[in-house]
Amino acid sequence: MPPQKIRQVQMFGNGFVEIIWVGVSYDEAFHAAICNCRLDNMLFIYPFDDLKMMEGLGTIGLDIFEEMQVLIDFIFVPTGGGFNVLFFLASFGYVFHFSPLI
């Protein structure tokens, strides 16, 4: 994990987050996280392959569109792996297709 990401997680976690480094691949870390959640009776929030997460990401584009008072020329979306931006852009595709203003 990049040092900057570790620092940001610690900063936003504000003392409530413990970073546990396990394995050398996503799969190893994922399986360790699932096991840890089961052992400690905690909820695991899937990073991308969860329907509720996808729905939430998809509404971001709709929320932005509803708040805008002018037509949008550009949208800059920061992304890590790229999966999250897919749902964000899909919501904009829906808006652009059905909006009478565009």
- My answer on whether 59 and 94 are in the same domain is yes
Q: What's the pLDDT score for residue 99? A: 60
| Between 57 and 25, the higher pLDDT residue | 25
Residues 6+ apart with CB under 8 A from 95: 61, 62, 65, 102
Domain membership flag for residue 44: no
29 and 61 in a single domain? The answer is: no
Q: Are residues 35 and 55 in the same domain?
A: no
Give the pLDDT of residue 72: 72
% residues pLDDT > 70 (the chain): 84
In this predicted structure, what is the pLDDT of residue 13?
92
Mean pLDDT of the 47-58 span: 77
- pLDDT tens for each residue of 3-41: 898 899 999 999 898 888 899 998 999 999 999 999 999
What is the tally of structural domains in the chain? 2
Residues 22 and 55 placed together within one structural domain of the fold: no
| Residue 66 lies in domain | 51-98
